[in-house]
Structure 1
Amino acid sequence: MPFTRLGLRTELLDAIKTLGYAAPMPIQEKSLPESMAGRDVIGSAMTGSGKTMAFTLPLLQRLLDDRDKDPHKGGPRVRALVLVPTRELAAQVEKSVGELARNSPVKCALIIGGASFTTQRDALKKGAEVVVATPGRLLDLIRGGSLHLSDVKVVVLDEADRMLDMGFMPDVRRIMKLLPVARQTMMFSATIPPEVERVVNEFMRSPVRVEVDRPRSTATTVTQALFPVTEGQKGELLAAVVKSDGVDSVIVFTRTKARADYVAHCLGRRDIACGVLHSDLSQKERDKAMQDFRDGKLTILVATDLAARGLDVPEVSHVINYDVPEHAEDYVHRIGRTGRAMTEGDAVTLVSFEEERLIPSIEAFIGQPIPRKALPGFAYRVPPRLHTYTAPMSSKFRLRRVIPRGGSSKFRR
C-alpha cells in the first residue's frame, strides 16, 4: 500500500517523497490507520523497522489538522510530547520530526540533559509545538515554570521497556499525571514485556495492539555468528575482525563504561582509530563521536548499551559484541543496529569460556541457534570451541560442606 492511500496530508506526503520513502514499512502500514483515527496504540516491532515515522506522522497530522480547524492553535503552546530514554535517541527523533515537518509551520524543541537550559527555554518561547525529551530534564523545566503540559494532545512513549530498565518509570508516571486526561497516547518499542504493559496501560484508553515481528525475533537481514575465544585474546581477535574484508562500519558493544574505554585503548594500541560512546562522557564528546561516525570520519564506534536503542546510523556493516550481554533482550537490541530498513548486516559475538553460560538463554529467547565460527588465519592460542556448550553435570548441583556437630568439632571449647 502506498503512503498516498493512508490519508496523509499533502505536506507530509511531499516530505516523505523528499526523504525517498516509496512505501510504508509493515509497522507503519498497520499502525497508521489506528493512530490517525485518534486511538491509543501499543506498537511492537523490531528495531530499525520504522517505528519513529510510525508515531511521527500521525502526531504531525493531528497538529496540522487542528491548525486548520483553529488557526490560532499553534504558537507557544506544547501540543505533542515524545518521551525517550536517552539523549542520542532524542536527538534522532527530533531530527525525524524536523524532516517530516519541513513543509509545515510546526516547530520542535529538543529537551535533554547535558545541554543548555537557556537554549531549551528559548526554543520553547519561539513556539515549539512538539517537544522531544528525556524525562529528567523535562521535569526540571516543568518545576522551573518554563514548560507546561496542559495543552498536550498527543504523547508518545518511545522505547518504554528501556525507560523501565534505566529506572525512568517513576519520572514517566509523574509526567503522565500532569497531562490532560483527554489525549492520545502511543507507545512503540522493540520489546514489550508484561511489566511495561502494566505500567503503560495505567495511562492508555483501550489501546490497540499492533505487532509486526515477534518481540523476541531478530531481523532476517542480519547474519549472526559466535566466535569462541579466550578472554586474553579478545582484543587481538577484535582487531583482526575489524580489519577483515567487507567490514566497513562497525559498532562494538561492551557491558560497562570501563570496558568501552579499555577496548578503545586496545584498538588504539594497534593503530585502529575509533570513537567511544558512554554516559561518563560530556554531551559535547558524545555528539562529536556520533557525528564523526555518521560522517565516516571514524568507521568504528565502541559503545555501552546506552547506545543500543534507537540509534539509526545508515549502513552499519557489522555489530560486534565484545562482551556477551547479560540479558537476552539486550542482544536483540544491540544487533538491531545493523541490517536496518531491510539492508544486510553481520552480528559477531566474541564468547569467552566464562560467558558460555549466557548463550543458551539468548538462543532460547530468539528461537534459533547461533552458528559458531573461527576466524580463518587467526593464531588462536587455545583452539576455539565450535560445538554447542553443555554445562557439566556438577555445575547443576550445589556442593555443601558438612561440619560435624557435637564434641568432635575442634572449634568447640
Structure 2
Amino acid sequence: MYSTAENRILARSQARKNKKKLQNGDLENTDDTRPISKKSRSDAKALEEENGVNLESQETSPKKKKKKKAKQELETNDENHLPVEIPEDEVLENTEPENTETEKKDEPAGTGFTILEEFRANKNNKVFRVLPTWLAKPSVISCDLSKNKVPISEISGLDRFLIEALKRNKIEHFFPVQQQVIPWLLESQQQLFRPCDMCVSAPTGSGKTLAFVLPTVQALWRHSVRQLRCLAVLPVHDLAVQVYRVYSSFCADTNLQVALISGQASFYEEQQLLVRKSKTGQYLTKPDIVVCTPGRLVDHLQRTPGFSLKSLRYLIIDEADRIMEEEHNDWLFHAEKAIGVSSGHLIAQKLSVPLEKSVQKLLFSATLSQDPEKLTRLGLFQPKLFTSVVSTTDAADNTKQSHHFVGKFTTPAELTEHYFKCPPMLKPLAVYCLLKKFKYRTTICFTNSLAATHRLCELLKQFGDLKVAECSSKISKGPRDKLLKDFSSGKIDLLVCTDAVSRGMDLGVVDCVISYDSPKYVKNYIHRAGRAARAGRPGTAITILVDSEMHGFHKLLGMAEKKNVTPLDMQTDEFEVYEEQFRKALDGLKNTVKEEIQSKIVRNHQARQKKGFKLKSKKGNVVSTKLAKHRGKSVTK
C-alpha cells in the first residue's frame, strides 16, 4: 500500500504530463479524473529510485513553495493553538496565470464602441397651464374689508329707494366686491347689444349677495308687465332662504314679487306661487324673481303648466363650484332649453323693433373652478372675472403672470388662522380648553361625519357649563331653523355641525371656527374658515390635528398657497386642570350611549310589531274576501 504522500506525488506527475500533452495538442480530454492504478504507482516509485530524485520535495514553481511553507506554518500553529497572520501578497490559489497574449490575438479588431462626449441632462422648464384671457387677467379686488370700505353715497347710479333700503338695514358702506361689481352691472344694463357674463371669486362674507341683489332689483322694478326675469339658483334650501330674504327686503318698496321654490313646501303650493290661470284660460306668471334649488327647478319646468323662462334676463348661480360638481338632474341643460336659443343674426323684421335682451349669467363663489371643461359647460359669453387677493402688492405680482389664476382660494384678511397638534384621545378636551382659555362667545365646531357630530356634542354637554347644540342633515327643517336663529342671537355657545353648514350661511357674529376633524379638501377648509371674519369683523380659525394628519394638512395649505397658518400658542399640559371634569364627562357619555341604544332597540321592536300586525290584518282581509266570494258563488249555484 502506498502512503498518502506517495499518492500525492503520483497525482502531480500525472498532472504535469497532461499539461504537456495539452500544450502540444495531443490530449483531447483535459479533465482526466481517473483513479491512479497500482501499476502507475509502482512505475513512479521505480522512476524515483533510478533517478534518485524525491518527487515530493521537488516543486515546479515559487508559488507552490510559498503554499507549502504557509501550510506547514498553519499546521504548526494548530498544534500550538496560536493564530498566525498570512501576508496578503502571498497567493495560495493553485491557479495558472491567464494567457492574455492569446486572448488579444484571438480578439477581432474594430469591435469596440465609439466613446461619445459626456452628456449632461438639462433641467426641464416648468410647463404652465395656458388659461383663457379672462381667467389670466381678471379685475383684482382686495380682501381687506376693514380698510377699503366705501360710503354708499359714492356709488353713483343707485335709485333713491335702494339707498333708503340700505340705510333701513343699517348698511352705510360698501365692501370692495360691491364697490366694483355693482357699477359694472349697472353699466352693462345700458348697453344696446348682449351684455357680457360675469364671474366673481371672493371670500365668504365679503358681500357677494348684495352685489347682485341691488343691480337686478334696479333693472326690473320699472317693468309694468309681470314676467319672470330673474332666476337665482342655489345648491341647498338654507342658502335659498337666505337669498330670498335679502331680495324680499329690497323689493318691499316696489311692485316686484319674489317667490321661493326649494322643496320645503308642497309641490302644489309652489305651483300656486309661480303661475295663475286667467279667465281666458291662459297661464300668467306671478313672480318677477324666483329663488330656487336646482332639483326643484327641473321639477317645475317639466310638470308645472305655464311656467316659462322665455322672458328671463338674469340667471344667477351662487356657490357655482358646488352646483357645477353636483349637477342636479342636469338642471342647466333644462334651464337653457326652457330659455330658448335666439338667433344672433339681424333680419329685416327685427330692425323695426328694439333688440331682444339676452340672458346674462352671473356666477358667484368663494372657490371658483378653473377647469376649462366645467366652465365651457356653462356657455359663458365673453365673461368678466372679478377676484380677490390678500394685498394689492400680491395682485400686482400675480397679474403679470398670465399662467397663474389669481384668487382661486381666498379668505378674509381679518381672519387669523392656527393649527393645534394633540393626541387623538384628547381632542374633545382640546375643544373645551380652547373655549375656556380664549373666552370665545360664539363658536362653530366642524366634524367629518354625523356620528362624530353627535358624540362630540353629547360629550361636551356633560361638562355642564356650556350651551352646546348639534346641527346636521338629520335634523328636520323646523328645529334646524330655530337652532340657527338661537345661535345667531347668542343663546348657544358652541354649535357642533357637519360641512352642511359650511357653505354660504350667514350665522351672525362668529368668534371662532374649530375644525375638530381635519378637512379633506381645500374647498372644505376655505368654506369652514369663512364662517368667521365676515363683513369685516375679526375672527379665528383653528384646526385640531393628530401626528398622522400633519403632512396632509401642510400639503393642503400649499395647494391653497396659504403661508399665514401658524401653530397655536397652547400646550397639552394646560389640560391637566380639566382632567377630572373630562373623566366624569366620559362616564356620563357612556351612560347616554347605553340609554340611546336601549331606546333604539325598543323603537325597532315596536316598529316590527306594528308592521307584523299590519301584515296579519292584511292577510286576514284577503282570506275573508276569498271566503265571501266562494260562499257567494255557492249560493248562486
Deviations 1:73-95 (A, max 9, x none): 22xx3221001111111111111
Deviation at 1:196, TM superposition (A): 7.1
Inter-partner Cα distance in structure 1 for 2:376 and 2:472: 28
Letter in 1 for 2:289: V
Secondary structure of residue in 2 paired with 1:379: helix
Q: Distance in 1 between matches of 2:380 and 2:304?
A: 27
Deviation at 1:369, TM superposition (A): 4.3
Pick from 276, 284, 294 the counterpart of residue 478 of structure 2: 284
> Which runs of structure 1 show a deviation greater than 6 angstroms over 4 or more consecutive aligned residues?
none
Q: Give 2:425's aligned residue.
A: 232
1:195 is matched with which residue?
Answer: 371
Alpha carbons of structure 1 residues 169 and 242: separation in structure 2 relative to 1, 3 Å: farther
Which residue of structure 1 aligns with residue 519 of structure 2?
325
The alpha-carbon deviation at position 20 of structure 1 amounts to 1.9
Amino acid aligned to 2:219: R
CA distance in 2 between partners of 1:328 and 1:79 (Å): 36
Match of 1:352 among 531, 546, 554: 546
Q: Does 1:270 align with 2:463?
A: yes
Identity of aligned residues (%): 28
**Contact preservation (8 Å) 1:26, 1:212:** no
How far apart are 1:245 and its partner, in Å? 4.2
1:131 aligns with 2:328: no
Q: 1:298: which partner in 2?
A: 492
Of the candidates 379, 388, 391, which is equivalent to residue 576 of structure 2?
Answer: 379
Q: How many residues align?
A: 374
8 Å contact 1:324–1:351 — kept in the other structure? yes
Shift of 1:258: 2.3
8 Å CA contact retained: 2:324, 2:374: no
Does 1:164 find its partner at 2:164?
Answer: no
Partner-residue secondary structure (3-state), 1:240: helix
Partner of 2:371: helix, strand, or coil? Answer: helix
Output the CA distance in 1 between the equivalents of 2:388 and 2:260.
29
Corresponding residue of 2:300? 141
Alignment check: 8 A CA contact 2:419 2:566 kept: yes
Shift of 1:253: 0.9
Alpha-carbon RMSD? 2.3
| Distance apart, 1:273 and its partner CA | 3.0
Deviations 1:36-92 (A, max 9, x none): 213321111111100001111111111114x1xxx2x22xx3221001111111111
Which amino acid in structure 1 is aligned with residue 387 of structure 2?
A: E
- SS, match of residue 242 in structure 1: helix
Distance in structure 2 (CA, Å) of the matches to 1:347 and 1:285: 27
Q: What is the distance in 1 between the residues matched to 2:330 and 2:496?
A: 30
SS in 2 for 1:252: strand
2:182 is matched by which residue type in structure 1? L
* Among 163, 168, 172, the residue aligned to 1:18: 168
2:501 counterpart residue number: 307
Mind listing any 5+ residue stretches in structure 2 that lack a counterpart?
A: 1-149, 190-194, 277-285, 342-357, 390-406, 579-637
Match of 2:152 in 1: 3
- Name the counterpart of 2:229: 79
The residue that corresponds to 2:311 in the other structure is 151
Aligned pair partner of 1:259 in 406, 427, 452: 452
Change (3 A) 1:10 1:220: same
1:208-219 correspondence runs (5 A)? 208-213=384-389, 214-219=407-412
Conserved? CA contact 2:295–2:329, under 8 Å: no
* 2:563 aligned residue: 368
Q: 1:10 deviation in Å? A: 1.6
Tell me if structure 1 keeps the 8 A contact 2:487–2:495: yes
Instruction: Give the drift of 1:269.
Output: 2.5
TM-superposed CA distance for 1:223, in Å, is 1.1
Q: How far 1:189 sits from its partner (Å)?
A: 0.8
Distance 2:557 2:577 in 1: 25
**Distance (Å, rounded) in 2 between the aligned partners of 1:176 and 1:84:** 17
Query: Which whole-Å CA distance do the structure 1 matches of 2:315 and 2:336 have between them?
Result: 9
Q: 2:204 aligns with which of 47, 53, 56?
A: 47
Contact between 2:298 and 2:329, CA under 8 Å: does it hold in 1?
no
- Measured in 2, the distance between the counterparts of 1:6 and 1:168 equals 39
Query: For 1:248 and 1:208, how far apart are their aligned partners in 2?
Result: 40
Look up the match of 2:441: 248
Q: Call closer, same or farther: CA 1:269–1:325 in 2, change over 3 Å.
A: same
Q: Distance in 2 between matches of 1:337 and 1:169?
A: 29
SS of residue in 2 equivalent to 1:121: helix
TM-score of the two chains, using structure 1 as the length reference: 0.84
Pair 1:202–1:138, CA change in 2 (3 A): closer
Helix, strand or coil: the match of 1:15? helix
- How many angstroms apart in 2 are the aligned matches of 1:79 and 1:12? 19
Larger radius of gyration: 2
Would you say the 8 A contact 2:443–2:495 is kept in 1? yes
Following superposition, the deviation at residue 15 of structure 1 comes to 0.8
TM-score, length-scaled by structure 2: 0.56
In structure 2, relative to structure 1, the CA distance for the partners of 1:297 and 1:120 (3 Å cut) is: farther
Q: Secondary structure at the match of 1:176?
A: helix
Distance 1:207 1:174 in 2: 22
SS in 2 for 1:104: coil
Deviations 1:373-397 (A, max 9, x none): 253622399xxxxxxxxxxxxxxxx
In the other structure, the counterpart of 2:381 is 205
One-letter amino acid matched to 2:333: R
Q: Aligned AA for 2:214?
A: L
Letter in 2 for 1:375: M
User: Does structure 1 conserve the Cα–Cα contact (< 8 Å) formed by 2:417 and 2:564?
Assistant: no
**Alignment partner of 1:275: what SS?**
strand
Mapped partners of 2:330, 2:450: distance in 1: 25
Q: Note the C-alpha offset of 1:295.
A: 2.5
Amino acid of the residue matched to residue 529 of structure 2? I
Q: Tell me what 1:102 maps to.
A: 252
Question: One-letter code of the match for 2:526?
Answer: V
Higher helix share: 2
TM superposition shift of 1:276: 2.4
The alpha carbon displacement at 1:141 in A equals 2.1
Query: Which residue does 1:395 correspond to in 2?
Result: none
Measured against aligned partners, the alpha-carbon deviations of 1:119-139 in whole angstroms (never above 9, x if no partner) come to 433333483211111111221
Preserved CA contact (<8 Å) 1:112 1:133:
yes
Post-superposition shift, 1:231? 1.4
Q: 1:249 to 1:166 in 2, by over 3 A?
A: farther
Counterpart-to-counterpart distance in 2, 1:200 and 1:81: 21
Distance 1:313 1:135, change over 3 A: same
Residues 379 and 196 of structure 1: CA distance in aligned 2, closer, same or farther (over 3 Å): farther
* CA pair 165-241 structure 1, distance change in 2 beyond 3 A: farther
